[in-house]
Homo-oligomer: A and B are copies of this chain.
Amino acid sequence: MNFSSKLLENAVAEFSKLPGVGQKTALRLVLHLLNQEKDEVERFGSAIVKLRNEILFCKVCNNISDQHTCEICTSHKRDRSTICIVEDTRDVMAIENTNQFNGVYHVLGGLISPMDGIGPADLEIDSLLTRIAPGEVKEVIFALSATMEGDTTIFYLNKRLKDFNINISTIARGIAFGGELEYVDEITLGRSIATRVPYENSLSR
């Protein structure tokens, strides 16, 4: 593109680095911000810089937090004997929105992915084992994506956890509620038949 201004070109280049944002979209976003009031743009710029500089990660569960220990980990209403293992903070938010889980979380900060050069040492696995070691944890639930990376991570962690006396489970996989059978992929459908559950257990509470 032929930019009439270096400042504009620079701002567009920065926006283009965001995932899923091409040069045309970046230009649209930048021109939108250019039309806003100066203090509005100042607020936008400082919000992200402030977040990056001041954000903390809960020293218990590694979730994004404003404090050294997050609200979930400090809450007296949560069941500390059940740990749900997730990839990142988005998964914590998604599960919290369901109101179906009253335990605590452990955020791995990624999944094992040899293709991307991410190994167990890059994830928050040691801190998980440290949490489990005292023996108060009774159950660990894997709530990871049903992908190659998710399965690899579960396989690895399952091996590391088998010496502890805890129940290990994964969230149920199968057809989605409201999903029409003819549109479900073969693997999901096949597995959902193989792992069928007694009717009484399938009723949502």
Indicate if the CB atoms of A11 and B48 lie closer than 8 Å.
yes
Name A33-75 residues within 8 Å CB distance of B.
Answer: 33-34, 36, 38, 41-55, 58, 63-66, 70-72
Q: Is the interface of A mostly helix, strand, loop or mixed?
A: helix
CB distance from A29 to the nearest CB of B (A): 5
CB distance from A3 to the nearest CB of B (A): 7
Q: Any chain B CB within 8 A of the CB of A92?
A: yes
Interface size on A, residues (CB 8 A): 59
Indicate if the CB atoms of A97 and B2 lie closer than 8 Å.
yes
Indicate if the CB atoms of A27 and B66 lie closer than 8 Å.
no
Q: Any chain B CB within 8 A of the CB of A88?
A: yes
A63, closest chain B residue (CB): B4
Tell me the A residues contacting B by CB distance below 8 Å: 1-8, 10-11, 13-15, 17-21, 25, 27-34, 36, 38, 41-55, 58, 63-66, 70-72, 88-90, 92-93, 96-97
